[in-house]
Structure 1
Amino acid sequence: MASISSFAQADDLLRFDKDLIIDGKVFRSRLMLGTGKYKNMQEAVSSIVTSQASIVTVAVRRLQDTKLHSQRSLIASLPLDSIWLLPNTAGCTTVQEAIRVASLGHEVCQRVGQLHNKFVKLEVISDPQYLLPDPIGTLKAAEYLVNKGYSVLPYMFPDPMLAKQLEEVGCSTIMPLASPIGSGQGLKNMENLQIIINNSSVPVIIDAGIGTSSDAVKAIEMGASAVLVNSAIAQSQNPVAMAKAMQLGVCAGRYAYLAKRMKQSGVALPSSPSTGLVI
């Protein structure tokens, strides 16, 4: 039986782990959640609270001023003292549109009391069929917004060279997709994701394509700083239960990353010694 001290040592891995820090702000959770596709607001809020996520992203274009202060508004129902809003530019197809929506996102944050929140999840997607982010438009918009004082978290195809360019213009994170957005296909670009993680000096957040908790585990195990999940939770048969699974998966992945996996072998190696056998 494992001793109490061994359990304590395991807990110490996370207790003394480095925090997730984005542009100087500390976050306790490495799980971020989206707010779209839920059946109703109650299900969305329950899932977000259960997940213990510290960051929740909201599509600015879907927010209307008439609903912003309503009791039925999702934002108004969230515990904003413990959750950091991440406005996103979802639906924007051009650089100019993304810049304008990012400004509106900052206004939303100010209205709900997060006065110094200039975070923006930058999405520039001009491809309506495959929903792949525009690399050139993303880079141009990112550079402009960084120069205007925004903390830019760019959604991007897992291209290591683009990741490095986005970092060089001052982005606060890199957010490569694991597979097409909303597809639930899991981590289909493992080699490129690993290169991006290895080469980045800013947090790498795996965004899009995660389908279940084992995908989140794998992403964190390979060294990603966090994952952003929406469809995998909202479109599951039990979103609240899946939110809990994601929360546990991120913790499990981080434990494994910190513990460091065993070396792989091409042959079987006995787990019991061959000496001292009873004949």
Structure 2
Amino acid sequence: MTPSTADSLTLYGQAFPSRVLLGTSRYPSLQSLSDSIDAARPGMVTVALRRQSETGEAGFFDVLKRHGVALLPNTAGCQSVDEVLTTAHMAREVFETPWIKLELIGDDYTLQPDPIGLVEAAAKLIRDGFKVLPYCTEDLVIGRRLLDAGCEALMPWGAPIGTGKGVTNPYGLRTLRERLPDVPLIVDAGLGVPSHACQVMEWGFDGVLLNTAVSQATFPPQMARAFALGVEAGRTAFLAGPMAERDSAQASTPVVGMPFWHQDGGAA
């Protein structure tokens, strides 16, 4: 694989200019949100129809329109398939887009997705013409079921939402990547610092979705920019082809021309 400036995130046949997706909730101000979008230059920004309707902050949608970034409505807060379907259809009408980030929470403490309901909801939304990006765990079998239901990409978590822990199950997440090599995988939830994003991009993931890690930082715009750089660095490293890890040391300095007693470890 040769690094290329044309390398872009492609979902459902549509190319996006950035591998960063940015959430829009819990920023200290609209100006902070606007500056963070400028700093990260995300491919998409997510918006929760239900939560935004409840807060109703004046000017919120004006900010999003001004930036001209593609919108990704989500079904945050839904705890049943019926809630998901109702929210998704309302979002499609309000935002005039078939894109939907599917969230169906099965546990209030961990905010872990409901794997059974998730597959059912995904299948119904796909039949209704949505482009579904399902928020799921790193479970390979559930991932395959979502793909069988018609999803063309997955959004596995790195850790529970809002924890900032980074990847808590590297084996599971890397196994998902290895077993689904041709499926776009975007790590969503649990990342806390740019090095977390860089790491998953080095593993070959296709993008990251961020919200709390940026909005709850001391200086959100600076953190947004740092994450964007981390994602770019990780992707570039993946395309460059990292060296193989070794269990023993290997000198990087060539031995040609060295005195023979240095080469074999002997004494003069």
Q: TM-score, normalised by structure 1?
A: 0.88
Partners of 2:235 and 2:105 lie apart in 1 by 31
Residues 174/275 of structure 1: CA separation in 2 closer, same or farther (3 Å cut): same
**Aligned alpha-carbon RMSD (Å):** 1.9
1:69-105: per-residue Cα shift (whole Å, max 9, x none)? Answer: x8x4222112567411000000001000011000111
| Corresponding residue number in structure 2 for 1:144 | 124
Q: Which runs of 5+ in 2 are unaligned?
A: 263-268
Of the two, which has the highest radius of gyration? 2
Establish whether residue 135 from structure 1 lines up as the match of residue 115 from structure 2: yes
Give, in whole Å, the separation in 2 of the partners of 1:81 and 1:245. 19
Structure 2 Cα separation of the partners of residues 66 and 174 of structure 1: 29
Measured after TM superposition, the shift of residue 277 of structure 1 is: 2.7
Deviation, structure 1 residue 48:
1.3
AA in 2 matched with 1:277? M
Deviations 1:5-40 (A, max 9, x none): xxxxxxx824143x2111121101000011111111
Q: 2:158 aligns with which of 178, 183, 195?
A: 178
Residue 62 (structure 1) shift: 1.9
Q: Distance in 1 between matches of 2:197 and 2:29?
A: 24
Q: In the alignment, which residue of structure 2 is the partner of 1:42?
A: 31
- Letter of the 2:106 partner, please give it: S
Please report how far the alpha carbon of residue 65 of structure 1 lies from its aligned counterpart in structure 2 after TM superposition.
9.8
Q: Structure 1 regions of 5+ residues with no counterpart?
A: 1-11, 111-116
Instruction: Give 1:250's aligned residue.
Output: 231
TM-aligned CA deviation for residue 193 of structure 1? 1.2
Give the letter aligned to residue 146 of structure 1. I
Residue 174 of structure 1 deviates from its aligned partner by: 0.5
Q: Is the 8 A contact 1:156 1:177 kept in 2?
A: yes
SS in 1 for 2:26: coil
In 1, Cα distance between the equivalents of 2:55 and 2:79?
Answer: 25
Provide the residue aligned with 2:5 in structure 1.
Answer: 15
Paired residue secondary structure (2:144): helix
Aligned residue type for 1:15: T
Shift of 1:149: 0.5
Aligned length: 258
Distance 1:30 1:137 in 2: 28
Q: Aligned to 1:26, which of 4, 15, 20? A: 15
Q: Describe how 1:94-173 pairs up with structure 2 within 5 A.
A: 94-110=80-96, 117-173=97-153
Report the AA paired with residue 93 of structure 2.
E
Secondary structure of 1:64's counterpart equals helix
Aligned position for 2:266:
none
Q: Partner of 1:238 in structure 2?
A: 219
Give the Cα separation in 2 of the matches to 1:216 and 1:14: 20
**1:173 to 1:80, Cα distance in 2 relative to 1, 3 A:** farther
Name the SS of the counterpart of 2:3 in structure 1. Answer: helix
The structure 1 residue matched to 2:44, chosen from 55, 58, 80, is: 55
